[in-house]
Amino acid sequence: MDNQYIEEAYKEGFTVRFAVKKRLFSEQSEFQKVEIVESTHHGKMLFNDGAAMVSERDEAIYHEMIAHVPLLVHPNPQKVLVIGGGDGGTAREVLRHDSVKECVMVEIDSSVVEGSREFIPKTSCVFTNPRLRLTIGDGVAFMAETKEKFDVILVDSTDPVGPAQPLFGPEFYGNVFRCLNDNGIVVAQGETPFYEPEAQRSLVGIMGKFFAVVRPYNFTNMTYPGGLWSFIFASKGLDPIRDVRVGAEQKLGDFFYYNPDIHRASFSLPTFMRKNLSGLLRDK
Amino acid sequence: MDNQYIEEAYKEGFTVRFAVKKRLFSEQSEFQKVEIVESTHHGKMLFNDGAAMVSERDEAIYHEMIAHVPLLVHPNPQKVLVIGGGDGGTAREVLRHDSVKECVMVEIDSSVVEGSREFIPKTSCVFTNPRLRLTIGDGVAFMAETKEKFDVILVDSTDPVGPAQPLFGPEFYGNVFRCLNDNGIVVAQGETPFYEPEAQRSLVGIMGKFFAVVRPYNFTNMTYPGGLWSFIFASKGLDPIRDVRVGAEQKLGDFFYYNPDIHRASFSLPTFMRKNLSGLLRDK
C-alpha cells in the first residue's frame, strides 16, 4: 500500500482503497492495529487490522440500523448494553432514546476509544453523555460474570477473527439470553451475506438455540466489502415488524438512512440469503 | 494497475480491485475500451472504460431486478425492447417470460457483444434464442426513428458519460413514451444514490415529465461502487407494487436474488435518497 491510499484487502481477491489526505493515528494495541486517517471523500475513517470500521460519510447507516430497529420494537427500553462499538456511534444512537436511563458499553480495546475520542468527534461525542457508562474490558468475560439485566443488548463487534471471535459463539449467547429481561432483544453485527454465508449461518443457528424469534435484516453501506451487510435480530418474543412502535421514530429527530419503510423492508431477504439460512429462521 | 488486478478507479477517491487470473479480451472500440478478464473469485468480468459492468458471480442480481420487476407488473408483456445490455444478461431474463414473443435489443458497441459471445456464455447464451432480435446501432437514434410499439422498455445503459450520455436526456424519454403501449413500463439503470445523487435526481425529474408513475427501486450488488444501486421504474399508470401479478414468478423457476418480498421491499428508499428526490416521486 502506498501512502496515498488506505486499503482493505478482503479475502476472495477483492480490495477496496480509499484516498487519504492525512494519516492521523496508528497504534498497535494488545489486540489489533488501530488506524485513523482523514480520507479525501469519506471523512475520517477507522480501520482495525486493515478492515474498515467507520467512515464519517456513512457511519450513520450502520449505527442507526443497529440501534433504532430494536429500540423502536422494545416497548420501553431503559437499560441497554453495547458490546464493542468503541468509536461511540452505536451508543450515540441508543442515547437519542429518552427512555434509556443507562447505556453500558464494554469495549475491549482502549486504543479504539482513545483514537476515536481524539480524531472522530462525530461518533465519540457520546463519551461526554452522563447516561453512558464506559468499561474497558472483555465483553465475553463481562457477559459471563455480570449480574445486571438489560432490555436490549447490541453486539457491535468486528469480524469473527481475532478478539471478536468468541462473540460469535454459543457460550456468549447463553449469557446474553440470561442477562436479558423478559421482553429482551439482542441485535448482533451479522457479517456480509455475499462473502460470509457460513459465518452468517453459524451465528443465526447459535442465536436460534436460545431465542424464540431470530430474524436477520440488511442494510447497504459504502465502506464494507460487498456493500450489503446484515444484523441478526433475536428476541424472547417481540417481533421486529409486528411490534414496532408506529410513529415513535418521529420523536428522535432526523435520520440519514432509517425510516419506518426501511425498517420493514430491511427484513426482506434476497433469495440466495434465504436459501443459505433455510431451516434456521424463527418467527414466534 | 499491475497485471494481477483489474480495478475501477471511481471518482471521489474510491477504488475497487479484483484479482485477475487471466486477461481474456481487450479492444478499443469506436466507443470505449472493452475488457474481459477471468477474476480469481468473481468469475468472468466485463469492464467498459474501466467501469465494472458484469461479473459472473453477481450479474444475476442486476439482470433479475431490471427485468422481472416490470415484467411481473405488466399484465401481458409481449414485446420488449432492451437498449444497451450487450452482454446479454438482461435479454436472458426477459426471455424467461413465455408471454414475450419478441425481445428487441439495440446495442451500440459490437465489441461488447462479440467479447461477451466469446468469453461470457453465462449471459451471452441468449444470443441463440430465436425470440431475440439483435441490432447493433445507436439506441438514441433507434428510439427517435422507430415506428414499433413495445410493452416494456429496459434502458440497460452504462453511466451518463461517453456513449450513454443521451440515454439520460429528455428527448430520449419523449421517444420512449411515444413507443410504449398504453400499459407501458420503462425501467432505466438509475445510478448509485450514494455517489450520483444529482444524476439520479435529474433522471427521475426527466422521466416524471412524461410518466404518471415514477418510482425508484434499489438493489445491492458486489461489484458496482458503493454496493447500493438504483433502477427507475416509470409507467403510464401501472403501479409497481399494487399491480404485481401475485404468484406469477413461480412459473419462472429459480432466482438468485429476486422474490416477491424483495420486489416490494426494493421500493422502500433510505431517508437520504427520499430527501434527494423530494418533490419528484410520482404515484398515480
Quick check: B83 and B157 in contact, CB under 8 A?
yes
Quick check: A186 and A176 in contact, CB under 8 A?
yes
Degrees to nearest 5, angle at CA B155 with B280 and B277: 15
Binned at pLDDT 50, 70 and 90, residue A226 comes out as confident
Mark yes or no for CB contact A262/B269 under 8 Å. yes
Indicate whether A272 pLDDT > 50.
Answer: yes
> Is the CATH number 3.40.630.30 carried by domain B59-276?
no
H-assigned helices in B129-219 = 139-145, 170-178, 197-208
Q: Is the pTM of this model over 0.90?
A: yes
Q: Which 3 state secondary structure label does DSSP give A150?
A: strand
Q: Which 3 state secondary structure label does DSSP give B141?
A: helix
Residue the block writes with cell 452504462? B158
Mean pLDDT of B187-191: 96
Instruction: For residue B266, list chain A residues with Cβ-Cβ distance below 8 A.
Output: 265
Instruction: For residue A265, list chain B residues with Cβ-Cβ distance below 8 A.
Output: 264-266, 268
pLDDT of residue A1: 47
Indicate whether B86 pLDDT > 50.
Answer: yes
Mark yes or no for CB contact A274/B266 under 8 Å. no
Binned at pLDDT 50, 70 and 90, residue B158 comes out as confident
User: Each residue of B229-275: pLDDT tens digit?
Assistant: 999 999 999 999 999 999 999 999 999 999 999 999 999 999 999 99
Quick check: B244 and B263 in contact, CB under 8 A?
yes
pLDDT of residue B3: 67
Mean pLDDT of B49-65: 96
The CATH 2.30.140.10 portion of chain B extends over: 5-54
Chosen for mutation from A15, A217, A250, A281 (greatest number of chain B CBs closer than 10 Å) is A15
How much of chain B, in percent, has pLDDT values that exceed 90? Answer: 91
Question: Which is nearest to B74 in space by CA: B219, B239, B231?
Answer: B239
| φ, ψ for residue B168, nearest 5 deg | -110, 15
CA-nearest residue of chain A to B21?
A13
pLDDT of residue A2: 55
Instruction: For residue B220, list chain A residues with Cβ-Cβ distance below 8 A.
Output: 218, 220, 226-228
| φ, ψ for residue A182, nearest 5 deg | -55, -35
pLDDT of residue A190: 95
Quote the CA–CA distance of B5 and A17 in Å, as a whole number: 13
Shortest CA gap B18–chain A (Å): 5
Binned at pLDDT 50, 70 and 90, residue B166 comes out as confident
DSSP code for A96: T
Mark yes or no for CB contact B42/A274 under 8 Å. no
User: Each residue of A166-203: pLDDT tens digit?
Assistant: 888 999 999 999 999 999 999 999 999 999 999 999 99
Q: Which of A4-8, B125-129, B167-171 is modeled with the greatest confidence?
A: B125-129
Quote the CA–CA distance of A54 and A87 in Å, as a whole number: 8
For all residues of chain B together, what is the average pLDDT? 95
pLDDT of residue B229: 96
ipTM confidence? 0.96
Mean pLDDT of A215-221: 97
Indicate whether B281 pLDDT > 90.
Answer: no
pLDDT of residue B32: 94
Mean pLDDT of A204-219: 97
What is the set of active-site residues of B? Answer: 156
Binned at pLDDT 50, 70 and 90, residue B164 comes out as confident
User: Each residue of A94-149: pLDDT tens digit?
Assistant: 999 999 999 999 999 999 999 999 999 999 999 999 999 999 999 999 999 999 99
Instruction: For residue A38, list chain B residues with Cβ-Cβ distance below 8 A.
Output: none
Mean pLDDT of B193-204: 95
Q: Per CATH, which fold does B5-54 belong to? A: Spermidine Synthase; Chain: A, domain 2 (2.30.140)
Length of chain B in terms of residues written: 284
Sheet of A180-189: strand order equals A132-136, A102-107, A79-84, A150-156, A180-189, A228-235, A213-220
What is the set of active-site residues of A? Answer: 156
Instruction: For residue B42, list chain A residues with Cβ-Cβ distance below 8 A.
Output: 12-14
Quote the CA–CA distance of A28 and A234 in Å, as a whole number: 34
Question: Which is nearest to A245 in space by CA: A183, A187, A190, A189?
Answer: A183
For all residues of chain A together, what is the average pLDDT? 95
Chosen for mutation from B10, B12, B258 (greatest number of chain A CBs closer than 10 Å) is B12
Considering only CB atoms, which residues of chain B are within 8 Å of chain A?
Answer: 5, 12-19, 39-42, 58, 61, 194, 218, 220-222, 226-228, 254-259, 261-262, 264-266, 268-272, 274
DSSP code for A242: T
Quick check: B48 and B158 in contact, CB under 8 A?
yes
Contacts of A121 (CB under 8 A, 6+ apart): none
Task: State which H helix or E strand residue B48 sits in.
Answer: strand B44-48
Burial code (b: 16+ CB inside 10 Å, e: under 16) for A219-231 equals bbbbbbbbbbbbb
The CATH 3.40.50.150 portion of chain A extends over: 59-276
Indicate whether A282 pLDDT > 80.
Answer: no
Task: State which H helix or E strand residue B59 sits in.
Answer: helix B59-71
